[in-house]
Every structure is written in C-alpha cells, then in structure tokens.
C-alpha cells in the first residue's frame, strides 16, 4: 500500500511544476477572449468557446475597457 503522504507530495510537486504553464495558458485565453469580443463576437458565443463563465468574461471585458452590450435582443 502506498503511503498517502508520498502520493500527496508527488501530486503537490506535479501541481506546482505546472503552475507557470497553467498561468501562461490562462493569460493567452484571456487575450483571445478580449480579441474575440473586440472583433464583434457575441459574448454568449465567446462564453461557449472559452474556458470561462459569462460573469468572468464580463468582468475582464469591463476591466479592459470593453463596454457592455446594448440592452435588448442579441444577435446569435
């Protein structure tokens, strides 16, 4: 039987060793989301194609100066 401490140590080491790659991928995904919104893709489509929730997409859009969509029906 494997010592759970060893399994936990190994998993933690693996997690920490990939943290930088994960952060870089997250930044790339955010830039792609912002580019998609700036190019006119509908936020709902951006949400479907991205790893992020609609609420997070709205937050990063506002933080980056992208205004909210106009009220009313949206094009699909």
State the pTM of this model.
Answer: 0.78
- What pLDDT score does 73 carry? 79
- For residues 60, 66, 69 and 74, what is the CA-based torsion angle, rounded to 10 degrees? -80
Distance CA 19, CA 29 (A): 15
Model confidence pLDDT, tens digit, residues 4-63: 999 999 999 999 999 999 999 999 999 999 999 999 998 999 999 999 999 999 999 999
Q: How far apart are CA 42 and CA 58, in angstroms?
A: 12
């Amino acid at each position: 039987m494997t010592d759970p401490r060893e399994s936990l140590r190994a998993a933690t080491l693996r997690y920490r060793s990939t943290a930088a790659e994960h952060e870089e991928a997250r930044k790339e995904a955010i830039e792609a989301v912002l580019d998609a919104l700036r190019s006119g893709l509908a936020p709902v489509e951006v949400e479907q194609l991205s790893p992020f929730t609609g609420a997070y997409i709205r937050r990063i859009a506002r933080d980056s100066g992208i205004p909210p969509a106009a009220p009313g029906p949206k094009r699909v």
